[in-house]
Amino acid sequence: MATYTDYLWFTTARRQEFIRITDELRAIVEKSGIRDGMVLVSAMHITAGVYVNDWEDGLIHDFQVWLEKLAPAGLPYRHHQTGEDNADAHLKRTLMGHQVIVPITNGDLDLGPWEQVFYAEFDGQRKKRVVVKVMGET
């Protein structure tokens, strides 16, 4: 089995953003030479996530509204007693997940017809990265 590792870097303009990364992952898989296997995509920061879902603006808005209801910003979270102000970002990341595994078939991501991969930032405006680990047979 062969492996290949690459990284995606993000510095978002806003504290919370959802960024489609499917095309970048496809390019990494192609560069890896893996024809059959899987790719692990994992946010390397505890206030960011990675998820798979539909690429539709209304749904992305719905995620943001839903997450804000479940983990509102500005509450007096115990985490804030440490001098931090981002407890809501940690909770939102936990809800959305921090990594995904996507199958690779014939050298390409094997996603469903509407599936796309997203980077979800919940405490942005600073440099963060995602590790992309491609594993399989060439």
Mean pLDDT, rounded, of the chain: 97
Say what percent of the chain tops pLDDT 70.
100
Q: Which tens digits make up the pLDDT trace of 83-96? A: 999 999 999 999 99
Q: 45 lies in a domain? A: yes
Interval 45-59 mean pLDDT: 97
Q: 112 lies in a domain? A: yes
Secondary structure percentages of the chain, helix, strand, coil, to 5: 30, 40, 30
Residues facing residue 53 across a β-bridge: 116
Q: Which tens digits make up the pLDDT trace of 116-134? A: 999 999 999 999 999 999 9
Q: 79 lies in a domain? A: no
| Alpha-carbon gap, residue 11 to 16, rounded angstroms | 11
**CB within 8 A of 84, min separation 6: which ones?**
none
Number of separate domains in the chain: 1
Residue 20 domain boundaries: 2-74+86-137
Q: 127 lies in a domain? A: yes
Q: Measure CA 16 to chain center.
A: 12
Buried-exposed string 26-53: b where 16+ CB fall within 10 A, e elsewhere? bebbeebebeebbbbbbbebebbbbbbe
Q: 43 lies in a domain? A: yes
pLDDT band at 78; cut points 50, 70, 90:
very high
Which pLDDT score is estimated for 124? 95
Q: 80 lies in a domain? A: no
CATH of the domain at 106: 2.60.120.460
Q: 21 lies in a domain? A: yes
Q: Which tens digits make up the pLDDT trace of 3-38? A: 999 999 999 999 999 999 999 999 999 999 999 999
